[in-house]
Amino acid sequence: MNRPSFNVLTEPWIPVVCLDGSADEMGILPCLKRAHELREIRDPSPIIEFGIYRLLVAFVLDAMILADHRPELYLDLEAVIDIGGFDTRLFEDYATQCGDVFDLFDPERPFLQTSMDGGKPKPLAGMFPAVPSGTNVGHWYHNPEDDLRVPAKEAARLLTTIAPFMTAGGAGLSPSINGAPAIYALPLADSLFNTIVLNIPLDLDLDSGDGVVAWRSKRSPGSERTQATSLESLTWRPRRIQLIPKSEDDGTVYVREMKFEKGDSTRLNWIDASLAYRYSGDKVTPIRMRENRAPWRDAGPLLLLDQAQHGQGERKIAFRRPAVVNQAFKISESGEPFDFQFYGMRTDMKMKVFEWAKSKLSVPANLGRSTTLGSRVHEELDHAEQIAFALRSSIKLLFPREGSSNKQALGNIAARCERAFWLRLEPSFHPLMHAFAALDPDATDDPELIAATAKDWRDSIRDLAREQLELAVEDMDADSDALERQVRARARLNNSIRKVFS
């Protein structure tokens, strides 16, 4: 019986959307050959979709490095974009140089895996957070973990999620190089070709050691690492994995089991080109998903800020948007709004996964190129955060003694009102960005100009906060004590609004 085989270079497994809107599946080489004719990668799972994008960026960058054509400047990326498509000979030569490392089930060098002797097989479900396995419970999915069986192409897709989204997994099982999964930014262009080029990392300041992509590395993962390169980080190996294929009578290859052990751990503080960071004193933290918080509320760190400091004294912090976002704004000369896609997975900072998300934001080019203007927009978002907090505090006043006898008093009502506040405020954010994008960056020290530019936004904040407080009041009693608390609640909210906008 022939050994199962699946060559990721040529077998169809990458889900793509063509420029005409039709869907297809392709291997790596056909996908890159036709990248200028394709619109995007699209998969129902956001973590798989971003994982494939990241894999293609790693493949293209490594091929350029081996050909001694690594882009190091913005001008280098612009030159690649100007060509209009990839040189397919580059990738064919690269595949030849790499050798037999692209077979998903190769016994010696399986693609994105580690050949292991011995070891007890485990259910494949342990690699996919949407499926319950072991002590990980999926409340929306109740099938036994052993029931997960996927064709080879889907197993290949799952492997791409390991580097960007692997969580801690208990004793000895470390997360990937970025720690707990954060929000990854992906600048989007009009074709897959341009999108890949825009996401090639240029910043080499943190590179150390001689690490390479997973399929060219002959080292078996499983050690504590103190060095890394930007190329290596794209296919970082926090687990040792080997898929166990089974052939059906019709020749179809499925995967239900795998070998799954600890891989590389790291103590270095890595800065990823696709992540935004918060700097507070000596602490550097990537921007991660938070419960009930849409990514647009973090537009400052994710898209607009580049180490400008905010706050005062010990509370002073700085944000730095992803390097690939900087690249996109510097490379693009168009005055049209620029689109970005964000991919995140919210965890308990350990192994428990709560949700994942994919979100798209469009930013006026002038705003993205001027972090001075971006800082002003971030300040307006801060105003909304302060008033959202004031709204919750004011709702607390509706309970006797402000809820001091009950820490959960009116918690559900306050949470409901705050969610509605943010949901209804979002449509006002895009006009706010366009309004600030029209300003001269040198004119942003004029408080009257800033207030006039943000007038509609601030009016929306005021109106929505007051509206939500009144909706909370409707659920309260109407006795004299309750009416007195309502008066105090309205006064507190109005005082907070005046203070924020004074």
Q: How far is CA 101 from CA 7, 116, 496, in A?
A: 9, 15, 62
pLDDT of 479: 87
Matching residue, tokens 């960071």? 277
Q: With bands split at pLDDT 50, 70 and 90, how would you rate the model's confidence at 138?
A: low
pLDDT of 207: 86
Tokens for 180, please give them.
């707990």
Cα(302)–Cα(340) distance, integer angstroms: 10
pLDDT of 475: 81
Report the CATH architecture of 370-502.
Orthogonal Bundle (1.10)
Cα(242)–Cα(115) distance, integer angstroms: 6
Domain boundaries, the chain: 14-179+190-266, 370-502
Do 123 and 256 meet the contact criterion of CB atoms below 8 Å apart?
Answer: yes
Cα(261)–Cα(471) distance, integer angstroms: 53
| DSSP SS3 for 43 | coil
Least Cα distance to 319 among 305, 332, 338, 340 occurs for 305
Cα(450)–Cα(377) distance, integer angstroms: 10
Mean residue pLDDT of the chain comes to 91
Q: Hey, what amino acid is at 344? A: G
| Alpha-carbon dihedral angle through residues 187, 192, 193, 197, given to the nearest 10 degrees | 20
Average pLDDT for residues 73-85, to the nearest whole number? 93
pLDDT of 257 > 80? The answer is yes
- Higher-confidence residue of 2 and 338: namely 338
Do 76 and 204 meet the contact criterion of CB atoms below 8 Å apart?
Answer: no
- Higher-confidence residue of 206 and 384: namely 384
Q: What is the pLDDT of residues 166-221, one digit of tens each?
A: 999 777 789 999 999 999 999 999 999 999 999 999 866 778 889 999 999 999 99
Distance of CA 245 to the CA centre of its chain: 31
Q: What is the pLDDT of residues 387-425, one digit of tens each?
A: 999 999 999 899 886 555 555 668 889 999 999 999 999
pLDDT of 142 > 60? The answer is no
Element (DSSP H or E) covering residue 452: helix 447-453
Do the bridges between strand 306-310 and strand 317-320 make them parallel or antiparallel, or are there none, so unpaired?
antiparallel
Q: How far is CA 430 from CA 215, 228, 355, 367, in A?
A: 42, 38, 26, 11
pTM for this model (two decimals): 0.93
Cα(241)–Cα(329) distance, integer angstroms: 38
